[in-house]
Structure 1
Amino acid sequence: MKMRINFFYYLLLLFGGFNINVNGQWPFYFSDSAVFRLKINETEIGIAKYSMDREGNYERNFTLKMAGQKIDYYMEVSMNNKVWNLIEIINGKDSLIIKNENNIAKYTVKGKSYNYEIDSSTIFYDNYAPVYESIMLKKYDMEKKGKQKFSRYIIPSLKDSVEVEFMGNETRQVNNTELKLLKFNMKLVGIEIQLWCGEDYKIYMENVPIQYATFIREGYEELLKSKTEDPLLSKPEFEDTVYTIMVPMRDGIKLATDIYMPRTSQKKLPTILIRTPYKKETSLLSGHYYAKRGYVVAIQDCRGRFSSEGVWEPFINEAEDGYDAIEWLASQDWSNGKVGMIGGSYVGWVQLWAASLKPPHLTTIIPNVAPPDPFYNIPYEYGTFFIFGSIWWAEVLETNATEDISGVAMKKIFERKYKQILRKLPVIELDKEIFGRENPYWRKWITNNVNGGYWEKANFMAKLKDLDIPVFLQSGWFDGDGIGTKLNYMELKKSKNKNIKLIIGPWGHTDQSTTKLGNLDLGKEAGIDLQTIYLKWFDYWLKDIKNDILKDSLVQIFVIGPNKWFKSNTYPHPKTEFKKLYLESSKGANTSKGDGKLSFIAGNSRKPFDEYIYNPGDPTPTTSSFFKNVEDTTGTRENEINLKDEDKKETEYHKKITDSRTDILVFETEPLKDSLVIAGPLSAVIYASSSAKDTDWFITFSVIDTSGNIFTLTKGTIRARFRLSTYKPILLEKNKIYEYNIDLWQTGIRISKGEKIRIEISSALFPMFSRNLNTGGHNEMETEYIKAYQRIYHSKEFPSHIIIPVINLQ
């Protein structure tokens, strides 16, 4: 859920909400005092009260009310001759003073001082009220019109250029009076924002369509009424009542469930079930959204979480608990017998578990960004232990961080020095380090390091081929659980089910779309209205509304570069041609300074193999700068984020690692002579030997642009003992050559002429993944390790290669 730039992203920052502009002297200040209400999906979650005088002195208080919590965000800007001299911010328990000293913004956080240079042309940005948009619009040249850019500062973390365009005049009826409005579009951090102001440039409404968020000036709520609506789309025509009930499971445990009941005369209603480990109240916006449109919504705390009874153990109880919740809901007097489910990440996972048992009244599911079986993503990925993701997620759960809407609890988790902590052995003891005690499910994850057995109750993918209900999968190319959507879809394809919908966009781990990825503008087409598509899907299957949801192609994948959706009825796209890129080298592929090559022609390698030493005592680091060492952090203003600079720093860190680490093999194509569209699932076949009884293999797939910037697209891994099956580990014979098939997830991008494809091969990606100790023992329960002498073969007999999905645009 987001607001303006990204509401809850900034709540995760210590001083989330310090989204203000730093400016010099202007003649554009004006007197305004107002109350604005923030609504997301028509539900009010916050109220902003502010006042500004003609000198620019400004005071604002924003009160956030959500999930039973209330937080005040206060800001005051003091002026001297229309030049700001002091900004005071109080967010919950945190406070910050920013002083202007000779056009330098100075402030201190946790004893560390920060200096920020001021550009006199920039405009304040307050994330919690839209008053400074009025000042920006006053500077807009109405004679020139068109797209105009303004510098905005979001202190202390971000600066960006804002693009503003006048879209025309509009007259709306408000309080039985015609109100003449000017409509502008503003693009900030890749997000389109619609502004409606009067002829005096006072803002009356600010709307962020892609985030379903609106600031509305009090007294002007009639502006919220939409002029154009799909006649076949469920309308927000009902008020709703919320009450809590304890729903019994088959073993007598009762799960706390909030029921959002529409106030309607209709006796039989469809139901949408949302099951969550993150506190049911945090999903209230979804509850109100669908209830207002005639659905009964049941939001349930998973077993052992928050208000539910029982013991919390991830994965294991969700199939049966989901089944029982669905059938209980369908048995209620108000039910029409049809139950759907929706939600992302774990909330998507629980849908697949429940569906695998085929409850009779489950009609459809929309698992967003949902993982696969636990042994293929988290906590394990093809046998390698995803140590960072697993311990991070466990801490989120154990601290109940998701219930804290201020973001303070989440920030404490993000501040952990994982690179240092995760070096400690044995891995199983990390629960004591992080939680101060033994954690039962953490230890079960580790002790059960082979698929099957303990994991059988959590495995569902093999059952998907028998699923006969409509399924709508949604994910992004950069979703950290994106392998789940890929694998789940491939299993569903084996069924006789003709209604499997798939949307993969250029997004991360989210059920909402966006039009910007870092510094990359993805274009308007990337920002599709997913929420309306979900609603249409439910309307069709749960309400029998014959809309056009099935008239569109079942599969939509977004290709970065042309920034277009490729549509078909199956995935991979039917025009996909899978091509092989073969590894080769002459002198050696160690480091990015070596001569490792990728070629579409096999058998050209002068050297039959490349080799390196993998030492668990000095594990190969991940190339993500998120895990960089303290000594790699330079500069005095590290809290400032400039998107272009961040991309540059990421590339510099990536190069630093691959330039220096001889335990990384690097293979690149020559600069492409023509552009190449790669869209769909990727994989690799490598032939390798090791001196160890067991080891890990990692492959990173990247693009290098014509400026030398490295853009990592996918990664894949396998633990050697699981090369044939995750159920039956078989250790290695010393120095024997084995074939490994490595899943490289999926991507969708056009690689332009002059750019290069790169892969990197290593035996660790630390601290993302736990180290293989090379002994053949239990890597997460032991402390002894040995070095491994590794070889990757690329001869005619052993032609290691990657397989890429190429779509010919012609």
Structure 2
Amino acid sequence: MKFKILLALIFVNLIQAQKFYFPQTAVTDSVVFEKHIPGLALQVISQLQTTKNKPKNNVDLLDDLSRLQVVAKDYKGSIITLAEHRKEFAENNMAGYKSLAYEVYSMAKLNELKNKMPFPKAFQAAFNKKYESMDEKIIPRVSIVLKGDVRNFRKLLKTIMDKQKGKDSIGYGSALALCKTYLNYKVFSSIQPYVSQAIAAKDKENFIIETQDLKTKAGSTLTITIVRKKENKLPLPVILANNIYAGPFDDYFGKRAAIYNYVGAVVNTRGKRNSNDINNPFEHESQDIYEVIDWISKQPWSNGKVGMIGGSYLGFSQWAAVKKLHPALKTIVPQVAVGIGIDYPAQNNVFMSYMLQWIQYVTNNKYTDEADFGNAAKWDSINTAWYKSGRSFRSLDTISGKPNKIFQRWLDHPGYDQYWQKMVPYKEDFARVNIPVLTTTGYYDDDQIGALYYFKQHYQYNKDADHYLVIGPYDHRAAQSFGTTYVNGNPIDPVARISIDELAFSWFDYILKDGKKPELLKDRVNFQVMNTNTWKHVPTLDRMHTSTLKFYLKDHKNSESVFTKPESPDFTKQIVDFKSRNDKDLYYKISKTDSAKVNNLIHFESEPLDKDIIISGNLSGLLNVSINKKDMDTDIYLYQVQPNGKLSLLSTHKTRASYSKNNEVRQLLEPNKMEQIPIRQSMFTSKKVEKGSKLLLFVGIGKSPNWQINYGTGKDVSEETIQDSGEPLEIKWYNDSYVEIPVYKD
């Protein structure tokens, strides 16, 4: 009896300390593990909604709960929770089906238990039932969400288990991670042997899918996949995607177009799938796509009209396609389009470390190297090793253990020169782009600068361009897919919860089938004003704002408002030591719960706003500076500090000072002389900022493992090393410098 009481007290103490019992033998004995993991999941569920552990929003709570219920073998409960999750998350057929694998697995397990059938048969029955009940628009995604990287899941599970060796208890966070990682491995390893066959059977019922190789005039091989809905017998317009991410997305892009009653065509770039050509991303799209469109337009299932769609690289591809416009190409829908040489692989002429990770992702094999790309720990380690070594940025590929010609070739072009210019329309080329265009991007899209670069250039050189823009509170993924309900964990306004897919194919219906123009497109620029639940519609980007507010680099606590020009000249001095590599993260504390990382940044804070304002557009302005070197890379961050102390990022800007006036020609700074750095190509946003909020502005210098380090010698930055750092960088930020904030008023 005393022993039972003692165990109970231990259990209570573990729960109170958020430690759960989990025997150390579970790490080495799979039978013991399988016996105890359901109980661990139940313990985590009991603590899931406590104040300390509760996820930041209901969607995350339901997601965690549904997964834990599967681990606890409460399959019926999990299915109910997933339905609630989908209802809240997946308005307008959006991303709520990401948990489809867990639902079908739970349905299969219930079949297995209730009907005493073997799992393969139980899975087939569950899959068929779920497939038949789906909205047709979801069907193309099934092959993606039901296939997981089992090998990687096993590796992640082992990593977590290794940390438990020799322990009989586990903390809440580790227990939650263990349960979710185990679930991924368990579910996908269980269903993987049967998924492909089940999907193939349904595809055979609904689609005609053909894959073949095309030979270009240059002798290159391109693999193309054609997808048609069986019920469509007559020739149709063709929706083409140019896809470097060869694999499951080929079928997805094709089936998506077919579902909307088009012919789907997906061509892989040189070196992918069946092509033995050299894979040089971005370099041959303009030439190759012209020939692909020519071939498509002559096929019996084509009515001679072609449209293009796709995001990121696929968005870039459409601008490459109109460099040499084929008569059959009637419209393009570039989504979150990479601005090659503009925002990737360098943003405003500053190269990013991520470029090497991406290059290997798409060139390591004929498809995509998911395991390598998804190994965040590996790439963080590589970037950190380079940073701490002080070696040149050119050495990053060598440090990774895999020298790369593409990486080196890109670094040979730090300015926006002919190498980049020949890939997409350049200046007057845009005047010849005379087909309708629909661009989508988001305030949180990594390629927003590129997407808007094309939009601005098109109108600059073609005043009569038929080009529409939709921009809202979307990240890189949401602005090229179904859309979303949450961004960065926060809910977006209900009117912004649109299906980007529906918008895109409504556009195709409008252009290619003489349909009705999408209701949202009331003017050339259509933008959602966050926190107002409204869309606005204006003819140009400049009309996104009606006035501006200049934020000067001065301390309002010791002087007049930051929004008034300083009465007397002054400066704030900043010193950055490039020799130091033992950086500790520094934070500017906003409130008890919020802070901002401020390494190599200085801050300026406004007084509380005396009324609501709508910040709408992108930051501009002028930095008046004096430095003791010939160059530097500057960072700007503008935040809103809400009255409750919560921090929200509004906009960012990064640039190389020597390219800030002209991204094609480098103009070095003269040491110890006042120079002007214009603020151009910053991130757009549109948001109501409430009365009582403060604006918090950070300016400073880029110095991290994620970007090149500019030591300021004036040499090629990719060649500079820590040996070039010399004396610390000294910057005088003059108080007549200002960031111009765009403001919208009805």
The TM tier, using the shorter chain, reads: 0.7 to 0.9
After TM superposition, list the pairs within 5 Å mapping 1:603-752 onto structure 2. 603-604=566-567, 606=568, 608-618=570-580, 651-652=594-595, 654=596, 657-658=597-598, 663-743=600-680, 744-752=682-690
User: Residues 294 and 598 from structure 1, CA distance in 2 versus in 1: closer, same or farther, beyond 3 angstroms?
Assistant: same
Partners in 1 of 2:561 and 2:397 — Cα distance?
Answer: 42
Distance 1:54 1:729, change over 3 A: closer
SS for the counterpart of 1:557 is strand
Question: Which sections of structure 2, spanning at least 5 residues, go unmatched?
Answer: 1-62, 87-92, 128-141, 182-197
Q: Distance in 1 between matches of 2:303 and 2:112?
A: 57
Note the 1:464-613 alignment, pairs <5 A: 464-494=430-460, 495-510=462-477, 511-512=480-481, 513-546=483-516, 548=518, 552-573=522-543, 576-585=546-555, 599-604=562-567, 606=568, 608-613=570-575
In structure 1, what residue type is equivalent to 2:396? L
Evaluate the alpha carbon distance shift between residue 595 and residue 765 of structure 1 in structure 2; reply closer, same or farther with a 3 A threshold.
farther
Match of 1:422 in 2: 386
CA deviation after TM superposition for structure 1 residue 480, in Å: 0.8
Correspondent of 2:697 among 745, 759, 763 = 759
- Aligned residue pairs, count: 617
SS at match of 1:493: helix
Q: Secondary structure at the match of 1:537?
A: helix
Point out the structure with the larger strand share.
1
Residues 299, 560 of structure 1: CA spacing in aligned structure 2 closer, same or farther, 3 A cutoff? same
Distance 2:582 2:327 in 1: 50
Is the 2:297–2:304 contact (alpha carbons within 8 Å) kept by the matching residues of 1?
yes
2:601 touches 2:699 (CA, 8 Å); kept in 1?
yes
State how far apart, in whole Å, the 1-side matches of 2:466 and 2:655 are: 32
- Equivalent residue for 2:726? 786
CA contact (8 A) 2:338 2:450 kept: yes
CA contact (8 A) 1:301 1:307 kept: no
CA distance in 2, matches of 1:18, 1:518: 20
Question: Structure 1 residues 687 and 111 mapped into 2: Cα distance closer, same or farther (>3 Å)?
Answer: farther
Question: Aligned partners of 1:95 and 1:492: how far apart in 2?
Answer: 46
User: Could you give the per-residue CA deviations for residues 11-58 of structure 1, whole angstroms, max 9, x where no partner exists?
Assistant: xxxxx999523699999989999xx9x999999996531228999x9x
Letter in 1 for 2:565: A
Q: Distance in 2 between matches of 1:649 and 1:519?
A: 19
Pair 1:444-2:409 in alignment: yes
Deviation at 1:250, TM superposition (A): 2.9
Aligned counterpart, 1:239: 206
Deviations 1:458-479, CA, capped at 9 Å, x for gaps: 2435233431111111111011
- Structure 1 238/676 Cα, relative in aligned 2: closer, same or farther at 3 Å? farther
Give 1:264 deviation, angstroms.
5.0
Aligned pair in 2 of structure 1 residues 697, 30: CA closer, same or farther (>3 Å)?
closer
Return the match for 2:374 from 411, 418, 423: 411
Aligned mates of 1:397, 1:685 — CA distance in 2: 39
The answer (yes or no) to whether the contact 2:246–2:366 under 8 Å persists in 1 is no
| Cα distance, 1:305–1:31 mapped onto 2, change above 3 Å | closer
Contact 1:477 1:508 in 2 (8 A): yes
Secondary structure, aligned partner of 1:252: coil
Distance 1:259 1:615, change over 3 A: same
Larger CA deviation: 106-115 vs 521-530: 106-115
Q: Distance in 2 between matches of 1:341 and 1:31?
A: 39
How far apart, CA to CA, are the structure 2 residues paired with 1:17 and 1:765? 36
Check 1:431–1:69 CA distance in 2 against 1; reply closer, same or farther (3 A cut). farther
Q: Work out the percentage of aligned pairs sharing the same amino acid.
A: 24
Task: Report the more deviating stretch, 238-247 or 420-429.
Answer: 238-247
Aligned to 2:109: 50
Distance 1:362 1:549, change over 3 A: farther
Taking structure 1 as reference, are residues 478 and 69 closer, same or farther at Cα in structure 2, changes over 3 Å only?
A: closer
Cα 1:109–1:595 change in 2 (3 A) is: farther
Offset at residue 806 of structure 1 (A): 0.6
C-alpha distance in structure 1 between counterparts of 2:708 and 2:239, whole Å: 39
Amino acid at match of 2:718: E
- Indicate how the Cα distance of structure 1 residues 154 and 538 shifts in structure 2: closer, same or farther if over 3 A, else same: farther
* 8 Å Cα contact 1:583/1:596 also seen in 2: no
Per-residue CA deviations over 1:734-777 (Å, capped at 9, x if unaligned) read: 21111111222211111111111122111214123211011111
Unaligned runs of 5+ in 1: 1-15, 74-89, 99-105, 119-123, 125-152, 159-217, 219-235, 587-593, 622-627, 634-646
CA distance in 2, matches of 1:617, 1:247: 53
* CA shift in 2, pair 1:607/1:43, >3 Å: closer
3-state DSSP class of the match of 2:475? coil
Map Cα deviations across residues 470-513 of structure 1 (whole Å, 9 max, x no partner): 11111110111111122221112232445312111211112132
Structure 1 distance, partners of 2:469, 2:299, is 32
Shift of 1:257: 0.6
Partner of 1:149: none
Per mean C-alpha deviation after superposition, the further-off stretch among 504-513 and 555-564 is 555-564
Which residue of 1 is the match for residue 17 of structure 2? none
- 8 Å contact kept, 1:244–1:258: yes
In 2, the alpha carbon distance for the partners of 1:475 and 1:542 equals 23
SS of residue in 2 equivalent to 1:584? coil
Amino acid at match of 2:386: L
Please tell me whether the aligned partners of residues 346 and 370 of structure 1 are also in contact (alpha carbons under 8 angstroms): yes
- Aligned partners of 2:658 and 2:668 also within 8 Å: yes
Give the C-alpha shift of residue 577 in structure 1: 1.8
Q: Which amino acid aligns with 2:385?
A: I
Aligned partners of 2:109 and 2:293: how far apart in 1? 46
State the distance in 1 between where 2:178 and 2:66 align.
Answer: 6
The letter for the 2-side match of 1:713 is L
CA RMSD across the alignment: 4.5
Tell me if the contact between 1:240 and 1:292 (Cα under 8 Å) persists in the aligned partners.
Answer: no
- Contact 1:395/1:413 (CA < 8 Å) preserved in 2? no
Q: Describe the SS at the equivalent of 1:50.
A: helix
Which of 335, 338, 341 aligns to 1:368? It is: 335
Q: Is the CA contact 2:220–2:277 (under 8 Å) kept in the aligned structure 1?
A: yes
CA gap 1:689/1:96 in 2 versus in 1, 3 angstroms: closer
**Residue aligning to 1:140:** none
Q: Does 1:278 align with 2:245?
A: yes
Q: Is 1:328 the counterpart of 2:295 in the alignment? A: yes
> Are the structure 2 counterparts of residues 738 and 519 from structure 1 closer, same or farther at C-alpha, using a change threshold of 3 Å?
same
1:75-86 aligned at under 5 Å gives the runs none
Q: 1:807 to 1:772 in 2, by over 3 A?
A: same
Cα deviation, residue 690, structure 1: 1.4
Q: 1:762 to 1:575 in 2, by over 3 A?
A: closer
The TM-score with structure 1 as length reference comes to: 0.67
Q: Is the 8 A contact 1:688 1:793 kept in 2?
A: yes
